[in-house]
Amino acid sequence: MIEIFRFISGALILIGAFLSLVAAFGVIRLPDVYTRNHAASKSATLGVMSILLGTFVHFFMEQDHFNSRIILGIVFIFITSPVAGHLISRAAYNSGVKLWEKSVQDDLEEAVWRRNNRVRQRDN
């Protein structure tokens, strides 16, 4: 039983480290802010969460220590990290950072243009 859980916690930590590495490669390789942010916020979130879960399983099985702070950390990262990604992306879009030149679709630009038109008509 202990051996199985040793294997599970090791596998979780390795998966988490691999996902964090993938996130780092994504940040280096991808072309613009939005795709980089997509790589960093998703992959790194899942990576850190699996590392924490592996640590939790390790300490629970090896030392019989239920560390509720790790659970709280997993929940906290799961809530906050995507919101941080969303806010960074939105700040980039609002300050006029261009999309990658091969992008084909920008629904937000159309929505912003229509909203600005509406505001202009109301003011006139």
Partner 1 sequence: MKTNDIILQTVTKITVFIIILFSIHLFFAGHYYPGGGFVGGLMTSGAIVLLLLAFDMKTVANVLPIDYKHLIGIGLFFAIGTGLGGLIFDAPFLTHAFTDVNLPLLGETSLHTAVLFDTGVFLVVIGVTMTIIQTIGEDE
CA angle in degrees (0–180, nearest 5) for 89-92-97 = 125
Residue 78 contacts partner 1 per CB under 8 A: no
Phi, psi at residue 123, to the nearest 5°? -70, -30
| The pair of three-digit structure tokens given for residue 30, joined into one six-digit string | 């991808």
Start-to-end C-alpha separation, the chain: 74
Binding letters toward partner 1, positions 34-73, x by CB under 8 A: -----------------------------------x--x-
Residue 118 contacts partner 1 per CB under 8 A: no
Out of 11, 14, 71, 83, point to the residue binding partner 1 (CB under 8 A): 83
Residue type, 99: L
Query: Which of 24/73 has CB closer to partner 1?
Result: 73
Q: Which of 2, 34, 10, 16 is nearest to 109 (CA)?
A: 34
Residue 91 contacts partner 1 per CB under 8 A: no
Residue 28 contacts partner 1 per CB under 8 A: no
Q: What residues make contact with partner 1 under the rule CB under 8 A?
A: 69, 72, 75-76, 79-80, 83, 86-87
